[in-house]
Structure 1
Amino acid sequence: MVSTINAIAELQQNAHSPVAFFNDMSKFVSGAGWRGFNDYIGARIYYNGLTEEIKDQVSNSPLIAAKVAALAENQLQREYWLRGSAREARKRQLILWLQDLADQQIDMMVCRMESTTTLRTLGFTMLEFIARAYHQGVHVDKLQIARLLETAKLASQKGISLVFLPSHKSHVDYIALYIICYRFGISMPVTVAGDNLNFAVAGKLLNNIGAMWIRRSFNNDELYATSVQAYIDTILTRGMNFDCFIEGGRSRTGKVLPPKYGILTFVLDSIFSGRVNDCYVIPVSCQYDKVIETESYISELLGKEKKKETLLDTLKNFDVMSLKLGRVDVRFHEAWSLRDYLTTKLHSRPEHSVSELSALDTTTRNWLIRSTGYKVLGDINAASMVMPSSIVATVLLTMRGRGIGYRELIRQVTLLVQRINNSAGKVADHTSPQQLLSSGVEVLGSMVGTERKGLLETTFYAADPFQLSFYRNMVIHLFISEAIVCIGIYTSVKRISSITYDELMQEVIFFSKLFSSEFIYPNNGIESNVKGTLMNMQAQNILKVNDNVIQLSEEEEIALRRENFDFYCFLIWPFVDGIWLAAVSLFALTPTIQEEATRKPSETLWIDREEFEKVSQSFGKTIYQQGEIQSYESVNKELLKSSYEKFISEGILLTRTSYVRIPRKLIALSPDWLPARNQHNAVKCEGKLWDFVGQISKGRREGKSRREIPDITSQVLGLSGEMALGFARELREVRTKRTKL
């Protein structure tokens, strides 16, 4: 068990006492003890004049001066007719205008950490919010906090920053990290935040405690990008702590998302260039028994437009203060020097002749940025705790049948905890499987159904599988190697009893490549990973390997009735179905016979990507209702979107941007992937796309019409044909309208 402390225990003890509430408030107002934030570790903040100091330092950055001069010169090149004094006057005018624009950008993004009064006010509000919403508290590991404080002291002595890189599942992530820094006396970090959260009143308050507002998209604005770089340089050279989310936006699916390299690239450029000597990177895992936003996430994943956050929406969320959402667990991976990591990584590749970070070519820099991003995600996964809600959700979503009795559920919870421990995972500290089950069922609420009336034993079932999948996905990283190996084995085992090692490697390589944007794999190479996974599963008596032939052990096949094997398959089957759906939807991009007759050989039939994704999701919902897909989560738009991105990277899909009226992303099937149609306008069952779908189908769970490969029924092909005709009609209408214009 992990030894933890509840960072907000003091406030929770007083949560239901009005007298204690006002007593706590008076302590925050007066700044008693740690609440005053007067004796903290790290760079000095919260003093009058800090904001102007930073703005002046950023504004006078050589980076901004050089960019302003370059942009002014570029404009003068366009105004080639200017000569002599007129050109010099115009140059001065451009430089003044660009510098003023840069100053405006800096003013919008710089945080104003000058008043501890604001910190105490918001600190009290945030602590009260968390204490009431998450009734079991915010838990941290005692040893990790002690280590974090030592790292903060060392960084302060060296004058370098702590760069916190947390996972991102909820807006509560911001609050949890701020509470921990505030409570344990660590200099508050500057936090990168999208300007969509900079709404009235609350935006200003958040800016006063460290929120750095940046645009969601830079739109190739070179000056703005330089202003951001100069500000990050300033933060790091001053040794101020820094915080950004490596995944970019919040994960709507529960699992860790692939890294977004935007802000990380700025941080690494500070190191590459030598403008900043070093910083300590601290990957952070934030895990929840229950995430406040899951219902809105499900709506978004099913196609509902994301709403821009407003103060009203935030106030509406205060009704969660009366709920029992369990606990938040925040875990800190051991800090590491960014410069040391980059240097060591560079020297691990002997083909790189350059040893200095400042002299790297673009390819090597990009490789190091990518490596750093995935190292951070790996460290986040390694530090993560598995919550009771995730354990209950995982058990309910990886079983055959409609429900499970209490005694069997306890057995499965115990078995899953053993699997987690065997995979080097960590379970949030609870004393028994019964306590884990009770806690998980309590916070999941209506997502877990129970049936008692007229039954011999209380039976549990997944009442809301889609929402439960969010919590199951918090566990999947621990078993992704086993899951992909089992899917590879399943492609043969469901037809014959065994598979050769070479055949398995082909299947594992295929599915690993398909899901490379979905999951974070161990970084020791695919063949080494497969061999290690096979050895572990053989040691657990799940598999039997003889003369490079792999099959299920007799105990697994007969005595356990594939209990372990099914568990790993059930984890990944929804993702297999999702990418299969995306692949099948591509048949709708096949030109009809009529379009082929009028299309020139050099022409490509382009479709609006956003519209295609919407119709594809409707197609998925339809075939789910008709039993062609097992899990509703397989039709979520994030999985479809990432699948199409994968198809683009593999050359299956082409993409371009249309600038007619408004910029729009367009997609089309690559010519060598286009299926042919017969005289009835139906897609022929042949070609690269047909074979590709068939390869994915081999990994799908057996069910309705899915015993043969490829498992594309005439009904599914017919619906994809209707999609194609719909797009064709729309495109003809668009062409007609444009002609009239």
Structure 2
Amino acid sequence: MAVVGQSMRETGAFYIRRTLAGSPLYAATLRRYVRALVAHYSAPVEFFLEGTRSRSNKSLPPKYGMLSMTLMPYFAREVTDITVVPVNISYDRLIEQGLFAYEHLGVPKPKETTGGLLKALHRLNDHFGNIYINLGDPVSIREFIGGSQTSSEMLKPLDLQELTADEFRSVQDVGDYIVTRQQECTVVTISNLISIVLMESLMNNEVLSFEQVVEKIDWLIQVLRNLRASVFENDVKGSIERILVVHKSLMKLDENNRLRLVSSALMNVNSDVQKKMKGHILKAETMVNAIPIIQLQLYANPVLHYLVPPALIYVIVNRGVTNKEKLFEDYYKIRKMLRHEFFHLEKTEKVKFNEALQFCLRNGVVMLSSDSSGVVTSPYDSSGVVTSPYDCSGVVSSLYERGENVALCSLLQNAMVPALRTLLTCVEVMTQRNKCAHNEVLKLVQERAERARRHAYCLSLEAAANCVRGLRRAGALAARDSEQEVIYESVPDILEECRRLIASVLPETNFDFGNSNIVIFNQDLKAKL
């Protein structure tokens, strides 16, 4: 980009290729350059650990390439320590919220040019609200992974040195940990809060008055603070009024002072764009409401990593009375399938589960069943093999059932539905096709979700891709890399087991996201794409 590129370079930025594959000389030069910056210069190196923008506004699994280059001087003992500072950036309104929603539906991203930037400058006169930058506590690499060990790599010339297998595992541990620390730095904004309330209103097909919205957000703030979230809100009523100005194209108060979601313009996708679309060609009527609902979900997503653990516990218990061992087993399996959708550390999942279970018990989401007393379970099966994920001896096991806190149960259930419904749709497609290319799977998921009128977020190509990768991680899909793309093949027994589990915890609810939903304010606008 003319002018812009040079200006960025003059501030210290440097550009890298999107992939290093097939360019060994370039890769070696980049590694040496980053290594020199860290080892010999005082300027910090700032980069996005996830490797790309999150178009879903959720944390992505980290990429380890740049982090490996950055930590290499420590493993080579060129420096005694490296400090990593996680940073979270939260926005009241994303400048690209419309583009991101279209990309979720498969519309290709427009090419970035200097001319396009200049044409878009007038948009900066609009009201975008606040930006919240929260710096987490610095992490010392020396304290995190311990002292670096001497390896044979240190005997090689600098340009030929590589990370050992153990060192790369340490890099992965650092990357995974930093992403979770960055999640903990999330500042919950009023945009996040009002989006969660409005999304629940949509799913319940129940319109809320302004006073009800204020009351609901006040309650939601307390829930999130109990989950140790950082909520930067004091004047809730004033903040809601401000954010309704910021998001006037997405939500509004009607003549009766009730909060409504504003539908998008009726889009006629021309043939040139259709040829470039990455997914199924959706009907114009589908996109009218899918676009604003996906935009709304983008603002709800940053809060979900707080809600998912207790929400998952609730939907499992909601299907019927269960003991702790079975509860954790199903919880762990679903979390594994949704790891790309809701990134988390698997090694700390038992601790996270126990904390979430205690939250559910304290707040009436689940409760001890009246049948709990005297139920003895054994951690061994008939052949003497340990099967319990918790104990190594017979214990008196508590049984859990659904609690009576209706408001909180509804919130948690609605938080899980989009991801679980998308996951089940992916399973149904792969069960039907058995063998399918990656892009074809995503198209079929979109087509099935549109036909069945499922939650609009099920139309997201990114959400579907995350769920497919999760099924691969769970062993339900085997993958083979071809010259063009990944080919998936179902593992019938495991895929059917996943289907039964997901279907058993997914609530039997039918959401109406069409024009008959009273929460949606329909515009009679037409546009071309």
- Kindly report which structure 2 residues correspond to 1:259-658, keeping only aligned pairs within 5 A, or say none: 259-343=62-146, 362-399=164-201, 400-428=204-232, 430-452=233-255, 455=256, 458-463=257-262, 464-492=292-320, 498-521=321-344, 525-546=348-369, 547=372, 548-554=398-404, 556=405, 562-590=406-434, 607-624=436-453, 629=454, 631-658=455-482
CA distance in 1 between counterparts of 2:29 and 2:417 reads 45
1:665 maps to 2:485: yes
Aligned partners of 2:194 and 2:217 also within 8 Å: yes
Letter in 1 for 2:28: T
CA distance in 2 between counterparts of 1:650 and 1:250 reads 26
- Kindly report which structure 2 residues correspond to 1:162-241, keeping only aligned pairs within 5 A, or say none: 199-237=1-39, 238-241=41-44
Using the TM superposition, give the Cα deviation of residue 358 of structure 1 relative to its aligned residue in structure 2, in angstroms: 7.4
Structure 2 gaps of 5+ residues are 155-161, 263-291, 373-397, 512-529
Using the TM superposition, give the Cα deviation of residue 228 of structure 1 relative to its aligned residue in structure 2, in angstroms: 1.0
CA distance in 1 between counterparts of 2:165 and 2:206 reads 52
CA distance in 2 between counterparts of 1:425 and 1:525 reads 18
Q: Would the alpha carbon gap of residues 470 and 216 (structure 1) be closer, same or farther in structure 2, given more than 3 Å must change?
A: same
Q: Match for residue 133 of structure 1?
A: none
CA distance in 1 between counterparts of 2:261 and 2:507 reads 19
Using the TM superposition, give the Cα deviation of residue 294 of structure 1 relative to its aligned residue in structure 2, in angstroms: 0.9
Q: Would the alpha carbon gap of residues 380 and 691 (structure 1) be closer, same or farther in structure 2, given more than 3 Å must change?
A: closer
Query: Tell me, what secondary structure is at the counterpart of 2:94?
Result: coil
Aligned partners of 1:522 and 1:529 also within 8 Å: no
Aligned partners of 2:430 and 2:441 also within 8 Å: no
Q: Match for residue 380 of structure 2?
A: none
User: Deviations along 1:376-426, whole A, 9 cap, x unmatched?
Assistant: 112212222111111100111134233112222111110111112212212
Q: Would the alpha carbon gap of residues 276 and 228 (structure 1) be closer, same or farther in structure 2, given more than 3 Å must change?
A: farther
CA distance in 2 between counterparts of 1:437 and 1:268 reads 44
CA distance in 1 between counterparts of 2:73 and 2:408 reads 48
Letter in 2 for 1:295: G
Aligned partners of 2:476 and 2:498 also within 8 Å: no
Aligned partners of 1:280 and 1:335 also within 8 Å: yes
Letter in 2 for 1:614: K
Aligned partners of 2:87 and 2:135 also within 8 Å: yes
Using the TM superposition, give the Cα deviation of residue 434 of structure 1 relative to its aligned residue in structure 2, in angstroms: 0.7
Using the TM superposition, give the Cα deviation of residue 524 of structure 1 relative to its aligned residue in structure 2, in angstroms: 6.5
Aligned partners of 1:389 and 1:440 also within 8 Å: yes
Letter in 2 for 1:620: A
Using the TM superposition, give the Cα deviation of residue 637 of structure 1 relative to its aligned residue in structure 2, in angstroms: 0.6
Query: Tell me, what secondary structure is at the counterpart of 1:211?
Result: coil
Query: Tell me, what secondary structure is at the counterpart of 1:286?
Result: strand
Using the TM superposition, give the Cα deviation of residue 636 of structure 1 relative to its aligned residue in structure 2, in angstroms: 0.5
User: Deviations along 1:665-689, whole A, 9 cap, x unmatched?
Assistant: 141424x42xxxxxxxxxxxxx553
Letter in 2 for 1:298: A
CA distance in 2 between counterparts of 1:380 and 1:361 reads 25
Query: Tell me, what secondary structure is at the counterpart of 1:214?
Result: coil
CA distance in 2 between counterparts of 1:490 and 1:217 reads 45
Q: Match for residue 699 of structure 1?
A: 505
Letter in 1 for 2:472: I
CA distance in 2 between counterparts of 1:632 and 1:259 reads 27
Query: Tell me, what secondary structure is at the counterpart of 2:426?
Result: helix
Aligned partners of 1:608 and 1:664 also within 8 Å: no
- Kindly report which structure 2 residues correspond to 1:78-157, keeping only aligned pairs within 5 A, or say none: none
Q: Which has the larger radius of gyration?
A: 1
Using the TM superposition, give the Cα deviation of residue 478 of structure 1 relative to its aligned residue in structure 2, in angstroms: 1.9
Using the TM superposition, give the Cα deviation of residue 355 of structure 1 relative to its aligned residue in structure 2, in angstroms: 8.2
Q: Would the alpha carbon gap of residues 357 and 322 (structure 1) be closer, same or farther in structure 2, given more than 3 Å must change?
A: farther
Letter in 1 for 2:445: S
Letter in 2 for 1:460: L
Using the TM superposition, give the Cα deviation of residue 703 of structure 1 relative to its aligned residue in structure 2, in angstroms: 2.4
User: Deviations along 1:171-227, whole A, 9 cap, x unmatched?
Assistant: xxxxxxxxxxxxxxxxxxxxxxxxxxxx22211221121221100011142222211
- Kindly report which structure 2 residues correspond to 1:8-27, keeping only aligned pairs within 5 A, or say none: none
Identity among equivalent pairs (%): 20
Aligned partners of 1:390 and 1:440 also within 8 Å: no
Using the TM superposition, give the Cα deviation of residue 268 of structure 1 relative to its aligned residue in structure 2, in angstroms: 2.0
Aligned partners of 1:285 and 1:330 also within 8 Å: yes
Aligned partners of 1:284 and 1:330 also within 8 Å: yes
Q: Match for residue 272 of structure 2?
A: none
Using the TM superposition, give the Cα deviation of residue 260 of structure 1 relative to its aligned residue in structure 2, in angstroms: 1.3
Query: Tell me, what secondary structure is at the counterpart of 1:698?
Result: helix
CA distance in 1 between counterparts of 2:163 and 2:57 reads 36
Using the TM superposition, give the Cα deviation of residue 316 of structure 1 relative to its aligned residue in structure 2, in angstroms: 2.7
CA distance in 2 between counterparts of 1:362 and 1:650 reads 27
Query: Tell me, what secondary structure is at the counterpart of 2:107?
Result: coil
Structure 1 gaps of 5+ residues are 1-198, 347-353, 493-497, 557-561, 591-604, 674-686, 706-741
TM-score (norm 2): 0.78
Q: Would the alpha carbon gap of residues 553 and 611 (structure 1) be closer, same or farther in structure 2, given more than 3 Å must change?
A: closer
Query: Tell me, what secondary structure is at the counterpart of 1:246?
Result: coil
Using the TM superposition, give the Cα deviation of residue 371 of structure 1 relative to its aligned residue in structure 2, in angstroms: 1.3
Indicate the structure with greater helix content: 1
| Structure ranking higher on relative contact order (CA contacts 8 Å, 6+ apart) | 2
CA distance in 2 between counterparts of 1:278 and 1:210 reads 23
